[in-house]
Amino acid sequence: MKPVAIFRHFYSEGPGYFATFLDRHSIPWTPIRVDAGEAVPSSVEAYSGLVFMGGPMSVNDPLPWVGQSCALIRAAAAASMPVLGHCLGGQLIAKALGGTITRNPVKEIGWGPAELLDNAEARRWFGDLAGFETFHWHGETFSIPPGATRLLESAHCANQAYARGKVFGMQCHVEMTEEMIRQWCRDGAAEIAAAANSPAVQSPEVMQDGMAPKVAALNAVADRIYARWVEGLNRD
C-alpha cells in the first residue's frame, strides 16, 4: 500500500492523534515538512491519500507552497484520491476547490461545541452524533467549495466542516493530544492575550483544565471521521 502523505506547515502542528490512528490500523504514512523546506510533490502518484495539517499562516499569503499544494489537491480530487484537511488544511482544500478564505467574525481559541447539520452526508461521516465538544484555534474561515456539503457549525463559525466525495475539510482540530494543547498554549500566549475580549477565546488555564477526558472524547469523534476517510484509500 502506498503511504498517506501528511503535510506539516508548522513545527508544533503535526499529525497528532491522526498518526496514532494510522499506526493502529497499520496504514503507512510519510511526513512532508513544508515548514522545514521540504518540497511539495509535483504528483500524487506515490501516495494513497493526502492530509494537510494546520498552521498560523493564511492560505491567502503569497507563499509558494500554497499554489503548489492547491494544484496537488486538485489532481488528487480529479483522481478520486482521499484528501483530508485540519484547520489551515481545510482552508487550503477549500481554496483549491474554488472556495474563498476570509476573516472569521471572531477568533475561536479553545474548547467549544460543534453541531451537526441534518443531512445525509453528515450522517455518513458522523453517524448518529448530534454534536460534540471540539478544539478550535483560528481567525479565518472557509466558504463551502462548489459541489461540497456543509456538515458542521459552531456558534462563532458557520462553516466547521464540509465533504465532497472522498474529500473532507475541517475548520476545527480533532487531531489534538494533551501535549499539543500544552505546546500551543505556550507558543500562542501572546495571541491569546491579544484576543482575550473575544467571546470564543479561552485562557490557557481553562483550555488545560480537565483536558484528559475532553481529549479522549475528541479522539473518539476523530475515530469516526478517520475511519470513514480511510475507507476510500487504495490498499493495493
**Does the annotation count 157 as an active-site position?**
no
Q: Which of 70, 87, 172, 185 is catalytic?
A: 87
Give the sheet arrangement for strand 167-170, strand by strand.
29-33, 4-8, 49-52, 83-86, 167-170, 157-164, 149-154, 101-116, 131-142
Tell me which DSSP letter residue 178 carries. H
d(CA 84, CA 78): 15
| pLDDT tens column, 49-76 | 999 999 999 999 999 999 999 999 999 9
Residue spans per domain, the chain: 4-230
Residue with cell 505556550: 186
Cα–Cα distance, 3 to 141 (Å, whole number): 29
Banded model confidence at residue 170, pLDDT cuts 50, 70, 90: very high
- The pair phi, psi for residue 135, each rounded to 5°, is -110, 140
pLDDT at residue 157 tops 90: yes
Task: Let me know if domain 4-230 sits in CATH 3.40.50.1110.
Answer: no
**pLDDT one-digit tens code per residue, 69-101:** 999 999 999 999 999 999 999 999 999 999 999
Distance CA 224, CA 21 (A): 11
pLDDT digits (tens, 9 = 90+) for 189-220: 999 999 988 999 999 999 999 999 999 999 99
213, with CB counted inside 10 A (0-12, 13-18, 19+), is exposed
Which one of 9, 136, 156, 173 is the catalytic residue? 173
Active site residue 9: no
Length of the chain equals: 236
Distance CA 170, CA 42 (A): 24
